[in-house]
Amino acid sequence: MLSQKSKYALRALLLLARQPPGEMVLVGEIAEQQNVPHKFLELILLELRKQGILFSQRGRNGGYTLARPKEAITFGEVIRIMDGPLAPLPCASVAGYRRCVDCQDERTCEIRQVMCSVRNAVADVLDNTSLADAIANGLSRERTALAS
Amino acid sequence: MLSQKSKYALRALLLLARQPPGEMVLVGEIAEQQNVPHKFLELILLELRKQGILFSQRGRNGGYTLARPKEAITFGEVIRIMDGPLAPLPCASVAGYRRCVDCQDERTCEIRQVMCSVRNAVADVLDNTSLADAIANGLSRERTALAS
DNA sequence: TGCTTTCCCTATAAAGATAATAGGATTATA
DNA sequence: TATAATCCTATTATCTTTATAGGGAAAGCA
């Protein structure tokens, strides 16, 4: 399940991705527009900055902006930062592998094998969807909906 | 993330799937072999029985057995019973759809669209993997491992 | 220089979900 | 009727998520 934190993070990033490149936006503006608690959003944006997703400036005329082009930020990267590994089980994770303490034989564990397939299927979607992709799909859907 | 409950449930079901069809197994035996708390496993098996996955018999010579052939029980079905919908967001779920309370326009929500893709990718794996499939894959991997 | 605005940082509380335990009720068999 | 097993409800314990609070530090401007 996607956490509230990831949802807020993605909302904020999509909002920033819709701005002209380099445009600074205040935490308060994002919070208000997206219905996210201000202070909670601060924590989220702070973490995204530390992880190189956002660039920030303090003081007057400060705010946040994407640290990279919107084509170069994927859903997978964002969700991993907020929620941790994509895999349904630690033992099926590539980046965040951890052995199951009560697993009798990982090499033959059927559950692990299936969860590895799930992990790959999920990563295939999320690591290949950028903020730009998501926005573009949204627009094309919108056009389709209006045309029909 | 897969819950402990789902993991225990799948372990128990895979154990039962490896028995001769119709063979009754005690909760206590499953709990011991799979390192699962006895009383907790009882709750899990009980729910699986209510949902038509297991058949049980009380009293002496009682126990649990699969209510259907192992080819006809999928990971998706089991995980939905234990953990609820597969989708990362309620608004992206087919079976358990629920609107996001703070969503401004679901029709154009980019996050929802991506999460629908994730849901489909996950369901595609889990709804097409039966207990029998998982056991068969495990064996073939074992053979491969031994051969190499 | 001092004032304001903004992000930055740490700590903690509140709420909810998950995991587990407990104790007995019911049923089938020998 | 004794026994062994599942069945059922309630409760506790633990952990995670979500959110709040209060101030610290830097940037710009008068």
Is B79 within a domain? no
Q: Find the residue in A nearest to B145 (Cα).
A: A107
* pLDDT computed for residue A11 by the predictor: 97
Within 7 Å: CB of A64 and strand C? yes
Strand partners, A130: A74
Inside any domain, residue A15: yes
> Are A11 and A41 in the same domain?
yes
Query: With contacts defined as CB-CB under 8 Å, which chain B residues touch A135?
Result: 110
In a domain, residue A142? The reply is: no
To which residue do tokens 């759809």 refer?
B97
- The burial class, CB within 10 Å (0-12 / 13-18 / 19+), for B61 is exposed
Range of the domain at B57: 4-66
Q: Count structural domains, chain B.
A: 2
- Pick the residue from chain A with its C-alpha nearest to B87: A1
Q: What is the pTM of this model?
A: 0.92
| B26: nt with nearest C1' to CA | D5
| Residue B116, domain member (yes or no) | yes
Each residue of A98-131: pLDDT tens digit?
Answer: 998 888 889 999 999 999 999 999 999 999 999 9
Interface residue of A16, A110, A135 to substitute, partner B, most B CBs within 10 Å: A110
pLDDT band at B147 (very low <50, low <70, confident <90, very high): very low
Cα–Cα distance for residue pair B27/B33, rounded to 1 Å: 10
pLDDT band of B141, cuts 50, 70, 90: low
Q: Note whether A9 and A56 are same-domain residues.
A: yes
Give the pLDDT of residue B139: 58
Return the pLDDT at B100. Answer: 87
Q: Are residues A27 and A56 in the same domain?
A: yes
Q: What is the mean pLDDT of chain B?
A: 92
**B13 and B42 in a common domain:** yes
Torsion of Cα atoms, A89 then A91 then A96 then A99, to 10°: 130
Residue B24 lies in a domain: yes
> For residue A76, which residues of chain B lie inside 8 Å, CB to CB?
none
Same structural domain for residues A107 and A56?
no
Shared-domain flag, residues B10 and B60? yes
- Residues belonging to chain A with any Cβ–Cβ distance to chain B shorter than 8 Å: 1-2, 7, 10-11, 14, 35, 75, 88-89, 102, 104, 107-111, 113-115, 117-118, 121-122, 124-126, 129, 134-135, 137-138, 141-142, 145
Residue A71 lies in a domain: no
Nearest nucleotide over every DNA/RNA strand to the A36 CA, judged by C1': D19
Whose structure tokens read 């992880």? A51
A99 and A52 in a single domain? The answer is: no
Inside any domain, residue B9? yes
- DSSP 8-state symbol, B45: H
pLDDT at residue B137, rounded to an integer: 79
Task: Note the pLDDT tens digit of each residue in B31-52.
Answer: 999 999 999 999 999 999 999 9
Is A136 contained in some domain?
no
Token look-up 């049980």 returns B56
Tell whether B89 and B61 lie within a shared domain. Answer: no
**A73 near A131, Cβ under 8 Å?**
yes
For residue B138, pLDDT over 70 is answered with no
Angle (nearest 5°) at CA B58 between B57 and B59: 130
